[in-house]
Amino acid sequence: MLKVVGMENKDKSNMGRDVIFRIKRFDGEKSYWSDFVVPAQKGMTVLEGLYYIKGTYDGSLSFRASCRMGICGSCAMKINDKPRLACETQILQLNSSKIKIEPLDNFRVLKDLITDFEGFFAKHEAVKPYLIRKDDNYAEPVELIQKPEELHAYYDFTLCIKCGACFSVCPAAATRDDYLGPAAMAAAYRFNIDTRDEGRDERMFMVCSDVGVWRCHFAAECSEVCPKNIEPAKAIQKLRFQAAVHMIKKALKRW
Amino acid sequence: MDLLKWFEVRGKSLFYISYSLHRITGLILVLYLVMHLSYLTSLRFGEEIYESFIATTVTPTFLIFDILLVLVGVYHGVNGLRLILHEFGLAYDVRRPILYLSYFLVLVLWLYASYKLYVFIVGV
């Protein structure tokens, strides 16, 4: 008898089962729900399930995905009412016979699970998320020295993959489209506390505006859903303090 | 603009639920404030009108509404202090224990205030 290596240890309960994917669709005009049966196996992710549906049942199902390992931030979507990365969410670990999948909230839906990220990235750009130096010299670049503790102060915030999960749960973003949102402000804070940076004042122009830190009401849900655990709510509260100091200094100078 | 999303708590954490409750309690307090000021304004039309209002509402029948109002006020106050603390950039890393502590404080203060109200209106 042929023996398959490892088969004897295989836990039968983990062999897999059928799971219903209930997906919110949008065809440009109307919104509707589609149900598909996916034969889920142990370790199979929601993204793999979506690829299975696209390949087997409905080629018109649209979703964004790229790296399949939680780095690109393309596949963030609402899975069972919570924004998650489809590539990092295993179907069987959801412990549910029916999985509800919707596009992210607070974004305009383009098609099915694809949302418009143009505004989200524009907000990122608006806070100047890069090192600003007064002595920039690209012809003769100089090494910028930094102590390990100075790196650790901002390192966590560099891990943002711009998936939009934080923005989708933010109640301030729900009621105002031009609100910068948690990801952009976490990026602003990350560069503000970088010891190599000299552009804090330029960045504060956006951060202190009425679309900046003052609109945050600390629902803190952004930190709860962040797949990289970068704690955007923490960055915003720290940035708020910086903004207050900045505005007081500015007022005193004018006075 | 989608104001209803403030109250969309499906799949959300206790932090978000606290935010939604803060909004709801804030709205209730604004409505109460309008009613409260209307009561005081009634004094301008005569003491009897004011007294008749008081005789209607400061009664054991209305006690349940008073107790609920105290809950709303205490929640909004305690949760507001928690938010102020965090918005100064403080104690973020212990935000979860502080959240639980604030709910515990709300419960204790509410029960104490309700007892005091009961004694005041009904008597022991």
Determine the pLDDT at residue B1.
59
A and B: number of Cβ contacts within 8 A: 63
Regarding whether A129 and A111 lie in a shared domain, the answer is no
> What is the distance in angstroms between the Cα of B91 and the nearest Cα belonging to chain A?
10
Structural domains of chain B sorted by starting position, each given as residue range(s) with its CATH number in brackets: 13-121 (1.20.1300.10)
Give yes or no for A237 touching B (CB within 8 A): yes
Regarding whether A142 and A51 lie in a shared domain, the answer is no
Mean pLDDT over residues B59-64, rounded? 89
Is A221 in contact with B92 (Cβ distance < 8 A)?
no
Q: Which of A78-92, A214-228, B3-17 has the lowest mean pLDDT?
A: B3-17
Q: Which residue has the tokens 């010891």?
A: A195
Determine the pLDDT at residue A10.
46
Residue of A nearest to B2 (CA): A175
Residue of B1, B8, B95 lying closest to A220 (CB–CB): B95
pLDDT tens-place string over residues A73-84 = 999 999 999 999
Residue A6 covered by a domain: no
Pairing mode, strands A98-102 and A17-26: parallel
Regarding whether A122 and A97 lie in a shared domain, the answer is no
- A49 is in which domain, residue-wise? 14-115
Regarding whether A220 and A207 lie in a shared domain, the answer is yes
Has residue A8 got a pLDDT over 90?
no
> What is the distance in angstroms between the Cα of B40 and the nearest Cα belonging to chain A?
33
Tell me if A112 sits within 8 A of A61, measured CB to CB: yes
Residue of B5, B13, B89 lying closest to A240 (CB–CB): B89
pLDDT tens-place string over residues A83-102 = 999 999 999 999 999 999 99
pLDDT tens-place string over residues A14-29 = 568 999 999 999 999 9
Determine the pLDDT at residue A137.
82
| Secondary structure (3-state) at A14 | helix
Cα→Cα distances B89→A33, A194, A247, B13, Å: 43, 18, 16, 21
Is B19 in contact with A221 (Cβ distance < 8 A)?
yes
Within a 10 A sphere around the Cβ of A121, how many other Cβ atoms?
Answer: 13
Q: In A, which residues are within 8 Å of B1 by CB distance? A: 175-176
Residue of A106, A221, A237 lying closest to B16 (CB–CB): A221
Determine the pLDDT at residue A7.
45
Spatial CB neighbours of A59, under 8 Å, sequence gap ≥ 6: none
Regarding whether A247 and A131 lie in a shared domain, the answer is yes
> What is the distance in angstroms between the Cα of B89 and the nearest Cα belonging to chain A?
5
Mean pLDDT over residues A117-145, rounded? 92
Residue of B13, B15, B92 lying closest to A234 (CB–CB): B92
Give yes or no for A144 touching B (CB within 8 A): no
Residue among A232, A210, A215, A211 at smallest CA distance from A223: A232
Q: Which two tokens stand for residue A207?
A: 């951060």
Tell me if A91 sits within 8 A of A45, measured CB to CB: yes
Residue A8 covered by a domain: no
Q: What is the 3-state secondary structure (H, E, C) of chain B?
A: CCHHHHHCCCCCCHHHHHHHHHHHHHHHHHHHHHHHHHHHHHHHHCHHHHHHHHHHHCCHHHHHHHHHHHHHHHHHHHHHHHHHHHHCCCCHHHHHHHHHHHHHHHHHHHHHHHHHHHHHHCCC
The HSE-up count of residue A57 (CA atoms within 13 Å, CB side) is: 16
Determine the pLDDT at residue A4.
46
Determine the pLDDT at residue A136.
80
Determine the pLDDT at residue A68.
95
How far is Cα A148 from Cα A198, in angstroms, rounded to an integer? 19
The interaxial angle of helices A200-207 and A232-254, nearest 10 deg, is 100
Within a 10 A sphere around the Cβ of B111, how many other Cβ atoms?
Answer: 14
Tell me if A245 sits within 8 A of A214, measured CB to CB: no
Residue of B nearest to A245 (CA): B88
Regarding whether A108 and A48 lie in a shared domain, the answer is yes
Residue of A nearest to B86 (CA): A237
Determine the pLDDT at residue A198.
94
Band of residue B23 on the pLDDT scale cut at 50, 70, 90: very high
pTM for the complete prediction?
0.90
Residue A193 covered by a domain: yes
CA B80-B82-B88 angle, to 5 degrees, is 100
Within a 10 A sphere around the Cβ of A127, how many other Cβ atoms?
Answer: 26
Regarding whether A130 and A110 lie in a shared domain, the answer is no
* The residue count for chain B: 124
Regarding whether A123 and A91 lie in a shared domain, the answer is no
Q: Which two tokens stand for residue A70?
A: 């939680």
Regarding whether A233 and A136 lie in a shared domain, the answer is yes
> What is the distance in angstroms between the Cα of A234 and the nearest Cα belonging to chain B?
6
Q: Which of A64, A99, A115 is the last residue of a domain?
A: A115
Residue A7 covered by a domain: no
Residue of A nearest to B17 (CA): A219
Band of residue A140 on the pLDDT scale cut at 50, 70, 90: confident
pLDDT tens-place string over residues B28-48 = 999 999 999 998 998 898 888
Regarding whether A174 and A80 lie in a shared domain, the answer is no
Mean pLDDT over residues B12-28, rounded? 96
Has residue A13 got a pLDDT over 70?
no
Q: Which two tokens stand for residue B43?
A: 């004094």
pLDDT tens-place string over residues B67-113 = 999 999 999 999 999 999 999 989 999 999 999 999 999 999 999 99
Cβ-count burial A20-37 (b if 16+ within 10 Å, e if not) = ebebbbbeeeeeeebebe
The domain that contains A229 carries what CATH number?
1.10.1060.10
Determine the pLDDT at residue B46.
87
CA dihedral sign, ordered A232, A238, A241, A246: negative
Question: Residue A76, exposed/middle/buried by CB under 10 A (0-12, 13-18, 19+)?
Answer: buried
Q: Which of A63, A85, A115 is the last residue of a domain?
A: A115
> What is the distance in angstroms between the Cα of B85 and the nearest Cα belonging to chain A?
10
Is A176 in contact with B1 (Cβ distance < 8 A)?
yes
Is A233 in contact with B92 (Cβ distance < 8 A)?
yes
Nearest 5°: phi and psi at A61?
Answer: -65, 125
Mean pLDDT over residues B40-57, rounded? 88
Residue A9 covered by a domain: no
Residue A93 covered by a domain: yes
Question: Residue A198, exposed/middle/buried by CB under 10 A (0-12, 13-18, 19+)?
Answer: middle
Regarding whether A208 and A92 lie in a shared domain, the answer is no
Give yes or no for A24 touching B (CB within 8 A): no
Residue of A175, A218, A221 lying closest to B83 (CB–CB): A218
Tell me if A22 sits within 8 A of A101, measured CB to CB: yes
User: What's the total number of domains in chain A?
Assistant: 2
Band of residue B54 on the pLDDT scale cut at 50, 70, 90: confident
Determine the pLDDT at residue B74.
98
Regarding whether A239 and A159 lie in a shared domain, the answer is yes
Determine the pLDDT at residue A15.
67
Residue of A nearest to B6 (CA): A171
Residue among A136, A126, A247 at smallest CA distance from A198: A136
Residue of A171, A217, A237 lying closest to B5 (CB–CB): A171
pLDDT tens-place string over residues A151-193 = 999 999 999 999 999 999 999 999 999 999 999 999 999 999 9
Has residue A111 got a pLDDT over 60?
yes
Q: In A, which residues are within 8 Å of B98 by CB distance? A: none
Q: Which of A89, A115, A141 is the last residue of a domain?
A: A115
Residue among A116, A106, A101 at smallest CA distance from A28: A116
Determine the pLDDT at residue B123.
81
